[in-house]
Amino acid sequence: MNKFPATPHINVLDEIGFGKTVLMPGDPLRAKMIAETFLEDRVLVNNVRGVNGYTGYYKGVKVSVMASGMGMPAIGIYSHELFTMFGVENIIRVGSAGSIQEHIKLYDLVIGQGACTDSNWASQFHLPGTFAPIASWELVTEAVKAAEANGATYHVGNVNSSDVFYGDHVGVPEGLDSVYGLKKMGVMALEMEAAALYMNAARYGKRGLCICTISDHVLTGELTSAQERQNSFTTMMKVALDVAVAMENK
């Protein structure tokens, strides 16, 4: 009999369950690639709706990787269930982001210390005023150490988690465009998941972090190909996995 609960989104297929730390890329195929590339003795632990989840060992530490899907509703569901029903303590989003600062280049890493957002996610918590979603400081500091150890070019600061991928900017003056406003406030890059992850982690007394590789540059129009992204994401994966190891040993 399976000792783990079954939810509409996760049905654990193996007694190994989930590690204390779960890496969450958006793409199920990327979760499969991470597991096959980096994890020893990996097993498939979830495949509900084709959302691949694996648990294995990295440098002797039990670690899991599972897709989050795209957007805050998706990662909100998976992070809620992992935090509250499957004993997960740390979730590290590993994905792509678009730079909105000239000095943050293609393939650089951004470590999201904070995540501003246009989402209404925080309203469910019935808070007065506004809430500032921030990452776990423990995870941030370990990520910085790991980035330096892996020779990565990295930046730490604010990202923007948006509900919108295809924004309608027709007729909006350039100076009033949302990207201009975020850029002038020092926001590093655009992505779509971190804020919900950070708020769920705060609510349940857990730890969340977003590490992204810059895959495109909003200001210059530069883009990376799918193959280039896959190759360049290797450093980000190593950084996130080293964070998982560090947290296991604390």
Tell me, what's the pLDDT at 212? Answer: 98
Contacts 24+ apart (CB under 8 A), 49-54: 49/9, 51/9, 51/78, 52/28, 53/10, 53/18
List, in order of start, the domains of the chain with CATH numbers: 21-248 (3.40.50.1580)
Catalytic residue of the set 14, 27, 118, 216: 216
CA–CA gap between residue 94 and residue 239 (Å, rounded): 10
Active site (annotated) includes residue 168 = no
Is the pTM for the entire model greater than 0.85?
yes
Q: Extract the residue ranges of the chain whose pLDDT is less than 70.
A: 1-2, 169-177, 230-232
Paired tokens of 131:
């809430």
CA–CA gap between residue 28 and residue 51 (Å, rounded): 5
